[in-house]
Amino acid sequence: MIWYTQDDGVLCLGTKGSQYAYFHVATDVKMKQPISTSLSESDIEIIGSFPEDWRNDNKIADKINNAAKHLFGSSKPATQAYII
């Protein structure tokens, strides 16, 4: 699981497309510089739930968005989540 930026600078948390379980949340945070960094244990603590529970957490997009704002700052509205 990694934090990464899309081409438009939107910060996302997700898995690489080649992994068996695909996970993607686009946050409200827009970065000026590209980022690609692993999700850490402290990030999980800030999110407030474990990745294995996210499939059943109907508020996970909000939790990840709030964590992204806390960790990286905020400036763009629009959240979308895909959990397969």
Q: What is the mean pLDDT of the chain?
A: 85
- At residue 78, the pLDDT reads 45
Residue 57 has pLDDT above 90, yes or no: yes
> CA-CA-CA-CA torsion for 69, 71, 75, 79, nearest 10 degrees?
-50
User: Per-residue pLDDT averaged across 29-58, rounded?
Assistant: 93
List C-alpha distances in Å: 59 to 5, 6, 35, 46, 76: 22, 22, 25, 14, 19
Confidence of residue 69 (pLDDT cuts 50, 70, 90): very high
User: Per-residue pLDDT averaged across 54-65, rounded?
Assistant: 94
Give the type of residue at 38: S
